[in-house]
Amino acid sequence: MAGCVFCGIVAGDVPAFRVADEPDGVAFLDTRPVFKGHLLVVPRAHLVTLADLPSESIAGYFGLVRRLAVAVEAGLDAGGTFVAMNNKVSQSVPHLHTHVVPRTKGDGLRGFFWPRTRYADDTEARSYADRVAAALPGSA
């Protein structure tokens, strides 16, 4: 898609430090990493959100994400990884992308990047669970 920086990277028109270039997606270093070695994994096609990823592409795309998470850990001697995705809100580039961030014990990253909350009680928690379950595609 014209004007999409990630489409430009996939096409080879925008320079990037590529880690993987496969039919299921392209992975490259984030230019503003949380920690050095932070990757972005994008599908080759211009898709904006996870909901846009065709069902037949899920295994290939997330298989690549999984392999890259293993490679980040092994290749960077990391203690683990943080794998995350934003959809619409906080999505800095409107092209589906998954972050694979190397982690080490004591790296200073605490949980998620936003404040946490609690449910008032079990009834409120159940109401949220029920609303999501009712909206789940394919649910009866």
**Model pLDDT, residue 110:** 76
**Model pLDDT, residue 23:** 96
Structure tokens at 23: 């039919």
Structure tokens at 90: 């906080």
Answer yes or no: 97 catalytic.
yes
pTM: 0.86
Strand partners, 100: 39, 83
**What size, in residues, is the chain?**
140
**Model pLDDT, residue 55:** 97
Q: What 3-state DSSP class applies to 12?
A: coil
**Choosing from 38, 46, 95, 97, which is the catalytic residue?**
97
Could you give the CA distance from residue 71 to residue 43 in angstroms, rounded to a whole number?
Answer: 18
Place of tokens 């960077």: 76
The ranges assigned to domains in the chain are: 1-13+62-76+95-102
- Which residues of the chain are modeled with pLDDT < 70? 111-116, 138-140
| Cβ neighbours around 43 below 10 Å, total | 22
**Model pLDDT, residue 109:** 84
